[in-house]
Amino acid sequence: MNKMGKYIIFYSGDFDEMKCLSLYRERDEIEKSFKASKSEIDILPLNTHSEKTTRGFILIAFLSLIIRTRLMNMMR
């Protein structure tokens, strides 16, 4: 499915339009990274029995997301 289209971004602030567009694209990349973390890293469902284990699992998943993102950026 083609998801290309036109978007209108409304913004009022101190940044110029190029900085605003850059921030929007960074946000999109972050959202795609989290989507990849849920599907490729298999973060959900959390099958843990204690808060300590859950925190450790989330930390490892977060670190793996950072490493994956860095590797993907290096490959570009």
Torsion sign across C-alpha atoms 36, 40, 46, 50: negative
Torsion sign across C-alpha atoms 56, 40, 5, 18: positive
What's the token pair of residue 24? 């929007």
Contact 37/65 with Cβ under 8 angstroms?
A: yes
pLDDT at 15: 76
Please provide the size of the chain in residues.
Answer: 76
Contact 61/43 with Cβ under 8 angstroms?
A: yes
pLDDT at 43: 64
List the chain domain ranges: 17-75
pLDDT at 27: 81
pLDDT in tens, the chain (76 residues): 456 667 677 777 787 878 877 877 788 777 777 777 666 666 667 777 888 988 888 888 888 878 887 887 888 7
